[in-house]
Amino acid sequence: MVNNHAAQNGGGAYVTGGTIRNCIFSGNTSSGAFAEAKTNAGTFLTCLLPGGAPGTGNIDGSPTFINAAARDFGLEPTSLGVNAGTDQGWMTGAVDLGGSPRIQVGQSDIGAYEASGAFTCIFTTGARVGLAPLTVVFTASIAGDDTNNPTYSWDFDGNGSWDSSGTDKQTVTNPYALGAYWPVLRVVNGAAQSACYTGQTPVVASLATIYVTTDGSSTLPYDTWAKAATNVQSAVDAAGDGILVLVSNGTYNLPASVTIDRATTVRSVNGAAVTTLRCASQTYRALKLNHAGAVVRGLTLDNGLAYELVNGITEVRRGGGAYVIAGTLADCTINACLGNFAEGAGLYVGSGLVTNCVVQNCVQHGGGGGGIRGIGGHIAGGEVMDCRFSGNHVGANVSDNNWGGGVHVASGTLRRSVLYGNTLGFGRGAGLSIAGGLAENCVISNNVTQYGGDGGHGGGVYVGGGILRSALVSGNAAYANGGAGGGIYQTGYTLAHNSPCFDTGVNQPWMDLAGKPRRVTRADMGAYELQWFRGSVFVVH
């Protein structure tokens, strides 16, 4: 399925049942989220498509056609689809779409055309980027009708001279000094057939610092300001564990999300006020951190969308500015990001640390279904501390199932932070909503739920679970029909603070139904003991 288009979803295929097997999807488009394939039911087996697909044996990647522009959709010998299909009984003695035998070498290929049995080679490496001097291990693989008696030759620096040759050189090791290198492999079999392969990405041995600026020459290994990268992701890709990527002043228009999945630090020279990573279009997030040792410091992350399509099928609506799966985000500003039914239009934290950051002016559109879970931020783990969430607001006020104009805490910890001037329409907790975890030592001020109905609960805070303590809740409002809890709205069957059952029960030595201390002073009536917000201050205007 190549170069098809759908007005909504599934440019290549829209599947409501059955099985798609041994198929290639490439270059398909749609106006919706699922460009290559969309499934509500059914199964993909050993298919090849960008983003992959759920199921067994599916491959995330491009097919490497012989000449797609000339509509030659046969596979190159090194294609990911070669020998990656599922053999079927009908293939014995059968031919492909071009009339060639269906199985030529090993097992069937993915796609309509079987690759030839030509002799080919490829190599893989261990760590290919890192601090100079860098040692890299190479391992060669060969395929074809005749793979007997191979001799391996290696040109480690790509200068045209073979540095190491022999029948015992399938796995080799080479040290690299500072620089960028394009290794080449040549293999000759016993029938004198030869094949060559050049790596798809370079080996980069760098200094401890890699540079990024708006006017650099983009010359690997980006080891001076003159040779600096102009693309942040290019610099990150060239940086190994423990390397600092130093970003100079300027606005960097991102063609795609920046992803950091190793122990690399990305830091601005002069802070977030003068260093901006801006999504060129609001169709992807600005930053994804996915390593416990990854650190990003002193950047503004602007104009992102809380959306990612994983494996070509699964929508992940989290963190338009930053999606922190693991790692540290510090001294950053997240600005003007967008979410649609998302968990955090600006920020999502699954684990790790977010500290001294500002999340502002983010917008969520949402309503029914799963609803919104945090416009400014969503905390599902880790710790967020010393941050400010302000001016975040809802764009469509259509459901009581929207939580957290400033922040929604599902788990993890929010500490020593300010939630100011956030707005929520129908929904729960214009400043803060808590379903689990801990929020403490925070200021929640001047937040507003704008509409009533069954929503508008908790102008400042909506407590549906978790713990709120040592908080200043001031100047918030729950407006219009049905608005309740201008400062705090707390759910459940626990007693209100003015309940006539408070301190009127008979003391007993056992605990209450929720496992909380049964007696604070004198036991209360009912299954649940009133738990005071100890140390909290509530100011009502």
The pLDDT tens digits for 37-62 are 877 778 889 999 888 887 889 998 88
d(CA 344, CA 403): 10
Q: What's the mean pLDDT in 93-120?
A: 84
Q: Give the confidence band of 508 by pLDDT, cuts at 50, 70, 90.
A: low
Three-point CA angle 37, 41, 44, nearest 5° = 55
Share of the chain above pLDDT 90, in %: 55
> pLDDT at position 394, please?
84
- Can you list the pairs that 27-33 forms with residues at least 24 positions away whose Cβ atoms lie under 8 Å? 27/2, 27/3, 27/68, 28/1, 28/2, 28/3, 28/4, 29/4, 29/5, 30/5, 30/6, 31/6, 31/7, 32/6, 32/8, 33/9, 33/307, 33/309, 33/315
Query: Which residue carries 């488009």 as its tokens?
Result: 29
pTM above 0.85, yes or no: no
Distance from C-alpha of 227 to C-alpha of 281, rounded to nearest angstrom? 27
The answer on pLDDT for 319 being more than 90 is yes
Reference 208, options 250, 172, 179, 245; nearest CA is 245
Q: Quick check: bond before 77 cis, omega within 30? A: no
CA max distance for the chain: 96
Residue 519 to residue 531: CA distance in whole angstroms = 10
Which range (138-147, 320-329, 347-356) has the least confidence?
A: 138-147
* Six-digit token string for 210: 């890699």
117: confidence class by pLDDT, cuts 50, 70, 90: confident
Does residue 511 surpass a pLDDT of 50?
no
CB distance 464 to 457 below 8 Å? no
pLDDT, tens only, 227-275: 999 999 999 999 999 999 999 999 999 999 999 999 999 999 999 999 9
Give the integer Cα–Cα distance in Å for 261 and 400.
Answer: 37
**CA-CA distance, 33 to 50, in Å (whole number)?**
13
Tokens at 267, concatenated: 């830091």
Whole-angstrom distance between the N-terminal and C-terminal Cα of the chain? 64
The confidence band for 201, taking pLDDT boundaries of 50, 70 and 90, is: confident
Q: Mean pLDDT across the chain, nearest whole number?
A: 86
Q: Could you give phi then psi for residue 68, rounded to 5 degrees?
A: -65, -35
